[in-house]
Amino acid sequence: MVVLVTGANGQLGQAIKFISGNYPEINFVFCASSELDITNKKNCEEVFHKYKPNYCINAAAYTAVDKAESEPEKAHLTNGIGAKNIAETCKDFNTVLLHISTDFVFDGSQNKPYTELDIPNPTGVYGKTKWEGEKAIQEILNQYFIIRTSWVYSQFGANFMKTMLRLASERDTISVVNDQIGTPTNAIDLADVIIQICKKHSQQPNDQSLFGIYNFSNEGQCSWYDFAKKIFEINNSKIHLIPIPTTSYPTPAKRPAQSVLDKSKIKSVFCVIIGCWEDSLEKNYSNK
Ligand SMILES: NC(=O)c1ccc[n+]([C@@H]2O[C@H](COP(=O)([O-])OP(=O)(O)OC[C@H]3O[C@@H](n4cnc5c(N)ncnc54)[C@H](OP(=O)(O)O)[C@@H]3O)[C@@H](O)[C@H]2O)c1
């Protein structure tokens, strides 16, 4: 079973690579953007022709949420056109697509966790282009998994946890917003569940009912302030942490105030057991 991973040098791509040795039955092909540029359809076809993947995990994306506001075309090219190219190539090569999307497709106005049936209404360019990618995939393919996730962190790439640890080494005080609520996701947990989906599908290849959109994050919910507090607690950091409202930390892109994802569907269909975000954050340090 060949599983091709796009965006292999990104945070999720590196997390998948980190645990890939646990799955000797899978032949992983990791393609960094230098080998596979998803905005280039011909490049997609050449790479698929070379490796003939059974599954493609599309971890490639334009993820600079604030920068996207001033570079909408770039975000559209990767998250919209890139996702479309990958979907069309998957269709031509009979490859099952696992595409990663985001809680930022929601506007955050709902006061309960978002299910897969809730209607997206992204407020920023990043979320709009990610939703555009989702819609392109759904138009092109019958065989797809779209996995929406949130607040991804790990020892790899750039993420909130690493930013907090860097700031703690440079400053005495940090202010973090406490009125945006979501759930952190350990990239290793996400990587693992994506591989579980590939494996389950390969055991039941004719089960069309498996396909569709799934939410995945760790369990529980918190604010960015709570997340930072836990990061510093685990690291024995003595930094002075100040909770602030979003209005005191204006950013180019508007973030959802509440983007907790309901995981009932993925838990029931794939029988996954999801750890709570605090435990998974602690586990992250023992993974290193
Ligand atoms: N990080 C989060 O908090 C978060 C939350 C929700 C959803 N997600 C989604 O999760 C997925 C993985 O995110 P991540 O955190 O791993 O992001 P990341 O660290 O920014 O990695 C994205 C990767 O995509 C690659 N890439 C960009 N443009 C490309 C192109 N045209 N062709 C091929 N590769 C390209 C980048 O390559 P270069 O390094 O060469 O530019 C980078 O390695 C994305 O779909 C993202 O939208 C992330």
Q: Is-contact 278 220, C-beta < 8 A?
A: yes
Q: Please, what sign has the CA dihedral across residues 261, 288, 164, 242?
A: positive
> Ligand 1 pocket, 37 CB below 6 A?
yes
More confident residue, 283 or 83: 83
How far is CA 33 from each of CA 4, 30, 78, rounded to the nearest angstrom? 13, 10, 11
The verdict on residue 233 lying in a domain is no
For a ligand 1 pocket test, name from 6, 14, 30, 33 the mutation site with the most ligand atoms within 8 angstroms of its C-beta: 33
- CA-nearest of 63, 56, 111, 106 to 85 is 56
> Ligand 1 pocket, 122 CB below 6 A?
no
Q: What is the pLDDT, as a whole number, of residue 77?
A: 98
The percentage of the chain sitting over the pLDDT mark of 90, rounded to a whole number, equals: 97
Side-chain half-sphere CA neighbours of 81 within 13 A: 13
The verdict on residue 242 lying in a domain is no
Question: For residue 24, which amino acid is it?
Answer: P
- CA-nearest of 150, 114, 149, 128 to 223 is 150
The CA distance from 52 to 57, in Å, is 13
Q: Is-contact 225 177, C-beta < 8 A?
A: yes
Ligand 1 centroid distance, CA of 61 (Å): 4
The verdict on residue 251 lying in a domain is no
- Provide the annotated active-site residues: 126
DSSP string, 119-156: PP---SHHHHHHHHHHHHHHHH-SSEEEEEE-SEE-SS
> Ligand 1 pocket, 9 CB below 6 A?
yes
Domain count, the chain: 1
The verdict on residue 12 lying in a domain is yes
The CA distance from 146 to 58, in Å, is 10
The verdict on residue 199 lying in a domain is yes
Q: What is the pLDDT of residues 67-112, one digit of tens each?
A: 999 999 999 999 999 999 999 999 999 999 999 999 999 999 999 9
> Ligand 1 pocket, 113 CB below 6 A?
no
Ligand 1 centroid distance, CA of 113 (Å): 24
Q: What is the pLDDT, as a whole number, of residue 286?
A: 58
Q: Among the atoms of ligand 1, which is closest to the Cα of residue 160?
A: 3
Alpha helices, H only, the chain: 11-19, 41-51, 72-75, 83-93, 125-140, 160-170, 187-203, 224-234, 264-270, 277-287
Confidence label for 128 from pLDDT (cuts 50, 70 and 90): very high
The verdict on residue 83 lying in a domain is yes
Token code pair at residue 44: 């997609």
* pTM for the whole structure: 0.97
Task: Write out the residue range of the structural domain in which residue 135 sits.
Answer: 2-159+184-219+260-275
For a ligand 1 pocket test, name from 63, 97, 164 the mutation site with the most ligand atoms within 8 angstroms of its C-beta: 63
Q: What is the pLDDT of residues 46-67, one digit of tens each?
A: 999 999 999 999 999 999 999 9
State yes or no: pLDDT of 133 exceeds 90: yes
The verdict on residue 212 lying in a domain is yes
Confidence label for 284 from pLDDT (cuts 50, 70 and 90): confident
Q: What is the pLDDT, as a whole number, of residue 287?
A: 52
Q: What is the pLDDT of residues 137-195, one digit of tens each?
A: 999 999 899 999 999 999 999 999 999 999 999 999 999 999 999 999 999 999 999 99
The CA distance from 108 to 104, in Å, is 8
> Ligand 1 pocket, 6 CB below 6 A?
yes
Q: What is the DSSP letter of 246?
A: G
Q: What is the pLDDT, as a whole number, of residue 121?
A: 98
Task: Output the domain CATH number for residue 119.
Answer: 3.40.50.720
Ligand 1 centroid distance, CA of 15 (Å): 12
The verdict on residue 243 lying in a domain is no
